Amino acid sequence: IGLGASILPLCDLVWANEKAWFQTPYMTFGQSPDGCATLTFPRIMGEASANELLNGGRKLTAREASAKGLVSQVFLTSTFTQE
């Protein structure tokens, strides 16, 4: 969580297991977002969704992250390694 999710937009390709989830609980810990998230998140998913994640600490499922453009593709748990 946090930095691991924040740097996803800096990657060329992001694959996720269907059970994966992503969260940036910076405000919960009194920290400011890192990993360029304040710049990349709004560009990828829009201001409202970026604020939900960065300021609200909302947890996204892999499918939600894919729909918002944070994840390239989601694979089934049973076939993730083979894919």
What pLDDT score does 1 carry? 76
Strand intervals (E) in the chain: 15-17, 21-22, 60-61, 73-75
Task: Read off the tokens for 6.
Answer: 């924040």
Could you report the per-residue pLDDT of 36-63, keeping only the tens digit for each? 999 999 999 999 999 999 999 999 999 9
What pLDDT score does 54 carry? 93
**Mean pLDDT, range 22-49, rounded to an integer:** 93
